[in-house]
Amino acid sequence: MDEETARTHLISVVMPVFDGEKFLQLSLPALIKMLERGEIIEVFVVDDGSHDRSARIAADLGARIIRTEGRKGVAAARNLGVEYATGDIIWFVDADVVVHEDAARIISNNFSNPEVTAVFGSYDDSPLEQNFLSQYKNLVHHYYHQQGSRKASTFWARCGAVRKESFQDVGGFDAEMYKLPGIEDIELGYRLRAAGYNIRLAPELQGQHLKLWHAWNLLHTDIFQRAIPWSRLILERSMIVNDLNIGVSERWRAALAGILALGLLGAAIRLVPWSLPAGLLLLVPVANWPLFRFFRQRKGSLFAIAATLYHQVYYLYSLGAFAWAWIETTVLKPRMPVKAP
């Protein structure tokens, strides 16, 4: 990075952590090397009430430690880190993400455009964990972020940067609403866009994801920490956009998955012939061909078949989450008694 860029863009890294000692030994060294090269000016690890040796390990590796008063949640931890940061660019990195060597340079290059307020990237296509669900989850994320509009409609804080002044102007992350990691960054992105700020998706800005996904934590995270809160946010603010995994084509594919599920149920109770869901099942790889082809290129045909079929399950619980949020906002909420002041 040239001296002019370094003077113009002072990048502070803020990394929240809760019981992440097994990740920090892998994720922090890449950032410390950037610090030594002068590409960033400081690395703050915000220890959000960890019970393990996260803070000690981070300090030994060269990070500066900030501690919350008990466990406050990832949104509050990031906000606290921003208060201490001295750079004009805040780069949020999660403890389970190993950023690529060129990440800081990519961020600096994007902020050389004064109209860019925030920039984010994606997980790469080589997650650490090799089990099916970890591979599926990370490859789906990578696919959507590589295909998304460069003029983004939201923000992603697992590896994303924002101008400090703009971040503070909109009030930072909503730490009261979002105690657990989920859509706190999406909601921040909506407020940034509503305030007139520009957000850029930089697909070349990548990091390796270290998280192990299994059935329980994947379903719980996807449904209760992402799908339902995001659906509520969309309905409350009328902000459904044609981008990433909620684009128009994705809604049609989700509808097909829903019809397929109804067809299977109807055939099981003998309301419709089995030929109906069988025909719909044949449409699945056709409707999802770009994603299927991506899976096949990365992991082979068998994985592509299994992952594409599982993706229909993802569509189903996403539909269910949206339906529940709609019931909440249009049926249950209007009937809730209003408390007297």
pLDDT tens for 70-117 read 899 999 999 999 999 999 999 999 999 999 999 999 999 999 999 999
Residue 202 φ then ψ, to 5°: -110, 95
pLDDT tens for each residue of the chain, 341 residues long: 444 444 468 999 999 999 999 999 999 999 999 999 999 999 999 999 999 999 999 999 999 999 999 899 999 999 999 999 999 999 999 999 999 999 999 999 999 999 999 999 999 999 999 999 999 999 999 999 998 889 998 999 999 999 999 999 999 999 999 988 889 999 999 999 999 999 999 999 999 999 999 999 999 999 999 999 988 888 887 666 655 656 678 888 888 999 999 999 999 998 999 999 899 899 998 999 999 999 999 999 999 999 999 999 999 999 999 899 989 888 777 544 433 33
Rounded Cα–Cα distance for residues 335 and 87 (Å): 48
User: Measured between alpha carbons, how far is residue 273 from residues 148, 159, 269, 312 in Å?
Assistant: 39, 48, 10, 21
Q: Whole-model pTM?
A: 0.91
Cβ(91)–Cβ(40) below 8 Å: yes
| pLDDT given for residue 240 in this prediction | 64
Burial category of 334 from C-beta neighbours within 10 Å (exposed 0-12, middle 13-18, buried 19 and up): exposed
